[in-house]
Structure 1
């Protein structure tokens, strides 16, 4: 009687079941209904069989055939390990959802058997017979073949698209994908992020940012720029990757798939020449990084040097009886001025007088603008002549590339082929530079205002820009206005100031009460050699016209 009762209880207790469903990508999970439909079919099957479904384990990753790389499958096996006294049926919608690799298919079958679980599939009947095992092996092998063929087809399409100049991977920061009527899926600048990336790249190329650390700190100050770490920082290797990426210069390549560098169809954020400058700076670095502790409280820290030891001064707040006082000071060991404080007002007021004295008068500013306009016209004519020479040089490079390619085809030595390919790659980069140079040598009409207004604004009012600018802008003014750091003596104040060339010319003109030379008697130099001024006035000096300025060979430049 007891035995019959136990059998009756077993028959009334439903078999426990687990459902496993999988799609290959997260996109199929979010945009499609693959997981939902698979679960629905499996639940219908379990209900028809009288099984009690205890849990559902979904996956949205393929794992490349290895079931242990799927989080859902690992969770199911762990669930079975925790229920060692239970007998389960594992239900799949299709055998392809089980494992699309012959080796892993039977490993997974063995893993379930070890845990006492049986496997049932809606579209396939598992049989423990020689014929059943043979059919199962064929079906599993066919799934593996189909997976490998799909993988090869996708790879071939992606390689072909890169070879045609399109990026096919995840969009780098600063870009986003758009749908174009002609090009299809195409990279496009992503608003503010693109502007930040462009500013960072150009800043590193032209020296505004002296190191990768400065680029990193600049991008970390932008709230919209994606950060890697919870503390709002960006990993250093991501800055290096950003600086080296030719996508920002409008070019694509793939080292993994051996696709050489080529012009892309997307909009560039920087020129290829700028990209080459960045690579040069990375390879031939050594430029000192700006101090991390630069503060608006002491904008001249690091730029003003001690006159006794010629080392940068530091700065700090010193605690007095009732409040703190700001000081600049030298902290160099062995210097006679070490730790002898100089009030901040004394140093910064003296610097303000220097920068204010560099601002030209309105009259001189008009002269300067006319000089720029004439220099622009002269350089425009020169650019048109130079473009022909660049195009001839470009044709020569293309001829060299074609000859090297012929030699690669004829060669049978792997080492020779490798060396020739490196030479071709180097010439290709030179070709890109010459092409960009030829395209940009002759500016479009109306470019004068765009190109020169910012320079004129800076030359006309360096003090206003410095006084009203942010700390990074102030540092930029210091780098542009002065050739070298300022030296300060505790006894005598600022020493000899070495300003940039434009300010030297303006200072010379301003000190001579100058007037413009009549246009008919203003000779343009056709060579860098000195030429005598043709005016009859008694200036008695040889002048050289370079970039639109009439420079005296003596220290006092004059223009009559």
Structure 2
């Protein structure tokens, strides 16, 4: 307000301007612009004023001066027309402002210009008594505004404590104040959670999948973006919880959960890069070209840099090549490296008998571990129940004033970390979720012919296949693979060979027919975890 300069003026004709303001709440209380203007015009006639202009402001709050362009316009008009204007007439003083300090500033500026501020329904004037009453009325307006604000804040907090959210994310809709699953999108959002939990899709890929399924941004209706997906997968609302950053609390929501907390924390581990499970690779932005499936997987022997790829133009057509970025050796055609990879995989492909032995051992071990995993899950559930009880007690002490908000946030953060660690532990033991028969069939179909599996795989599948077998990548030297380390997981499979010495055992049953009674893994005389190179040079 200080930028508006008012000055003393001489006497002038008795003219006035009217300022009316209404918010959505005022319209409900029948303080419409038309009603205010009629009352102000009647008061102007009674006081002998001619109305020079009416300023109308709709849908604006009186809490602050900022954001009220019509009020600023009216004050500027008064400054320019100060020789003609004698008064500003309002329906009530709170139409000017509900903040006492702002009201007094506006009144002082008008007084400096010899312009009276007149209320059509309240006593106003320039005598000491009238000024005192006027200030008290302005104070009452602020108190009324503060009381409304406090009631609103208390209402919002009570709604939160009851487990009701002010905003519902994609997959839910608000029905009569309650969040329910959206029949059109909830199943698609649930599938997106399951998909990201596999660790094989980027956020952009999931966003594209949802967009193709017809899921759009809620407000603008545009395509789903990776930023939206990132926020979605960090929202605990989908677990049936309601979180408030303002209050630093988490409560049980009244809406139906879409996912389990185990799935939620698994996704957090994947997104945060904390997942070390080789069967669930951490998502990374896909910078690979399907024309060069081995790029960043195969490394140069001389400088250990990952090979890159590019197309070159020949006389009649284009050719695809891999090469070391440091130019340590010559380039190699994509077909040459692909054939070398297929030959290399053929050398380490387990026999059909080996796979059957391994699957038999896997089944027996699987069922033996079920009881252990079940016990761990039960222990985790007991610990979680204790932690949830501790957190609920902490919330009650915070609400009753025993713990300050700062102390509550500090202790709640410690509890949240403990809960998260236990949830991740529970999630890592989801072996019972999968069908054992499907797993053994998958191993049989994919590992019986690794060369064919490689040839039939797309870019993502190729990366997962080779990374699971060669976690440190493949090393290329002198037109062949050299000293590539095989993962311990795959070594277990290829070490199952009949008639060989059991690893870690001095004796035991060594015939395949006895595996159902006493399954023991076998080890080859020559270790497979280091493959010295191709038996033939390509």
State whether structure 2 residue 479 is matched by structure 1 residue 492.
Answer: yes
Mark the CA change 1:365 to 1:480 in structure 2 (over 3 Å): closer, same or farther: same
Mark the CA change 1:23 to 1:76 in structure 2 (over 3 Å): closer, same or farther: farther
Q: Secondary structure at the match of 2:22?
A: strand
State whether structure 2 residue 298 is matched by structure 1 residue 304.
Answer: yes
Query: What CA deviation, in whole Å up to 9, does each residue of 1:271-324 have, x standing for no partner?
Result: 357538837985989999956643333233212212322211122222334544
State whether structure 2 residue 152 is matched by structure 1 residue 154.
Answer: yes
| Contact 2:170–2:218 under 8 Å retained in 1 | no
State whether structure 2 residue 175 is matched by structure 1 residue 179.
Answer: yes
| In structure 2, distance between residues paired with 1:121 and 1:356 | 94
Structure 2: where are the runs of 5+ without partners? 1-12, 528-538
| Contact 1:315–1:326 under 8 Å retained in 2 | yes
| In structure 1, distance between residues paired with 2:505 and 2:467 | 30
State whether structure 2 residue 289 is matched by structure 1 residue 295.
Answer: yes
| Contact 1:508–1:556 under 8 Å retained in 2 | no
Aligned to 1:59: 59
Q: Secondary structure at the match of 1:110?
A: helix
| Contact 2:40–2:90 under 8 Å retained in 1 | no
Query: What CA deviation, in whole Å up to 9, does each residue of 1:310-355 have, x standing for no partner?
Result: 21112222233454432211112xx632xx3222222234445666
| Contact 1:38–1:93 under 8 Å retained in 2 | no
| Contact 2:36–2:91 under 8 Å retained in 1 | yes
Quick check: 377-386 or 244-253, which moved more?
A: 244-253
| In structure 1, distance between residues paired with 2:270 and 2:508 | 41
RMSD of equivalent CA atoms = 5.7
| In structure 1, distance between residues paired with 2:86 and 2:139 | 27
| In structure 2, distance between residues paired with 1:80 and 1:475 | 73
1:31-42 alignment, distance < 5 Å = 38-42=32-36
Aligned to 2:533: none
| Partner of residue 460 from structure 1, selected from 445, 449, 452 | 445
1:79-94 alignment, distance < 5 Å = 87=85, 92-94=90-92
Mark the CA change 1:16 to 1:138 in structure 2 (over 3 Å): closer, same or farther: closer
| Contact 2:498–2:510 under 8 Å retained in 1 | no
Aligned to 1:517: none
| In structure 1, distance between residues paired with 2:81 and 2:441 | 79
CA-CA distance at 1:262 after TM superposition: 4.9
Q: Secondary structure at the match of 1:552?
A: coil
Quick check: 345-354 or 97-106, which moved more?
A: 345-354
| Partner of residue 521 from structure 2, selected from 545, 551, 556 | 551
State whether structure 2 residue 331 is matched by structure 1 residue 341.
Answer: yes
| In structure 2, distance between residues paired with 1:134 and 1:68 | 26
| Contact 2:17–2:54 under 8 Å retained in 1 | yes
| Contact 2:321–2:331 under 8 Å retained in 1 | yes
Quick check: 347-356 or 155-164, which moved more?
A: 347-356
Q: Secondary structure at the match of 2:304?
A: coil
TM-score (norm 2): 0.66
Q: Which has the higher contact order (CA 8 A, sep 6+)?
A: 2
TM-score (norm 1): 0.64
